[in-house]
Each structure stands twice: as C-alpha cells, then as structure tokens.
C-alpha cells in the first residue's frame, strides 16, 4: 500500500531543481506529506491530489504537520484539490508553522 512522503529529521528542505514546474500528486491514494519531526521547508512547488478521508487518516490531505515537528515553513506553494475530514490542504498540530506567499484552493 502506498504511503505519504514522511519527513522526520533535523533540517529538511524540499524544493524543485531547475526551471521546471514541479507538481507532487498523490492521485487520491493517501496524504502527500506527513511532517513528523524536525525543521522543514517546502518551497516553490504544487501539492495536489492528497486524500485523508479513511478511518485511519482524517487530517491533512495535502500536508499534515504533527505536534513533534519543529519550525515548518511553506513558501511560494500552491496547495489544491486535496481532501480530508479536517484540513484538506493543511492540518497543523505544530507549534511553529508559517505559510508565506502561498495559495490554497479547492481543498
């Protein structure tokens, strides 16, 4: 069974390389990113197609920020077409999450 992209580490940055427009698409299989711990930066790409509507996964179809996460920043992001019972695009349980110059729509 496919799993979301789990992020757990001290310092993690996820950003596109080159001039291509990057889209991370879960295609309705699971949530896209599950941020468990560490300081994380998501910079300059699209998050689409996340799904967290099962009994086991109800929050954060696009991005789930768990309470153990450190500083989390979403910057220049487009988050769209994600589904969840709580927080279709983003569900935040972290204590230090920032969203900068980003778009959320159709979640």
What is the pLDDT confidence band of residue 77, given thresholds at 50, 70 and 90? very high
Residues found in the chain: 107
Average pLDDT on 94-107 reads: 97
Which among 70, 39, 37, 45 is positioned nearest to 62, based on CA atoms?
45
Instruction: Read off the pLDDT of residues 22-73 as tens digits, 9 standing for 90 and up.
Output: 999 999 999 999 999 999 999 999 999 999 998 888 999 999 999 999 999 9
Q: What gap in Å lies between CA 35 and CA 22, rounded to an integer?
A: 19
């Amino acid at each position: 069974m496919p799993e979301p992209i789990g992020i757990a580490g001290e310092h993690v940055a996820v950003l596109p390389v080159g001039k291509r427009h990057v889209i991370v698409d879960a295609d309705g299989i699971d949530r896209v990113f599950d941020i468990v711990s560490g300081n994380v930066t998501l910079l300059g790409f699209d998050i689409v197609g996340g799904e967290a509507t099962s009994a086991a996964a109800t929050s954060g179809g696009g991005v789930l920020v768990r309470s153990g996460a450190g500083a989390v920043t979403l910057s220049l992001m487009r988050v769209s077409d994600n589904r969840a019972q709580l927080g279709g695009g983003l569900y935040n349980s972290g204590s230090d999450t920032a969203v900068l110059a980003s778009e959320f729509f159709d979640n």
